[in-house]
Chains A and B, each alone.
Chain A
Amino acid sequence: AQSVTQPDIHITVSEGASLELRCNYSYGATPYLFWYVQSPGQGLQLLLKYFSGDTLVQGIKGFEAEFKRSQSSFNLRKPSVHWSDAAEYFCAVGPFGNEKLTFGTGTRLTIIP
């Protein structure tokens, strides 16, 4: 069975600081990995995805993520956060064809001035 762990429930960073959100997955075959962002009161928006190829993937809003098979991780990074990045972030894993996704429990990001 596939599973996703986001070990950090809540992270606070200063505006302009760098950010790394952790995601570890468990999946028996080649995983298809996603990061979604949810702003307060909104639905989920796709930030980036990894299907194959280059293990460093670029997404929207200046985010990137690196797939590390040996560590079963897909951590999300941003070099300099903006106040508008305050939101909840979800990592998800699915099989080829992506019929069903399994989501992590989310990491809430707070930005302080």
Chain B
Amino acid sequence: NAGVTQTPKFRVLKTGQSMTLLCAQDMNHEYMYWYRQDPGMGLRLIHYSVGEGTTAKGEVPDGYNVSRLKKQNFLLGLESAAPSQTSVYFCASKSGTRGKTYEQYFGPGTRLTVT
């Protein structure tokens, strides 16, 4: 199993450009998450999904959109990038079997720079 993979690993954007980050998991997990990591701020939840076709806002959703058209994929979009979106983005997934609690599994991250 590859686990959680993220594409691309690095990206540089100019202000106003758009892009999509792809997260894929091969563990048949129901839940998927997008976080951003900034120095001194830990990980902050952007959006998450509890199943195919569903999405929900996290702590810092502004400026981002997401889609979960297939269970194994979770896309994060930036429609008009801003320098404040320079960050490292992590995707995570976890099992959602009712009545149980499971840990989240993380991807390797995408380092995004907006100039």
Contacts and interface: CB of A to CB of B under 8 A. Distances in A.
Contacts of B94: 98
Contacts, number: 50
Interface string B34-49: 0000001111110010
B104 interface: yes
A44 B31 CA distance: 17
Interface in B12-55: 31, 40-45, 48, 50
Interface of A: 9, 32, 34, 36, 41-46, 49, 51, 90, 94, 96-101, 103-106
A46 B42 contact: no
Contacts of B109: 41-43
A104 B40 CA distance: 10
B103 A105 contact: no
A100 B58 contact: yes
Contacts of B106: 36, 43-45
Given A103-B42, A105-B41, A106-B42, A98 B90 contact: no
Given A34-B103, A41-B109, A46-B103, 7 more contacts: A36-B106, A43-B4, A43-B109, A49-B103, A98-B102, A98-B103, A100-B48
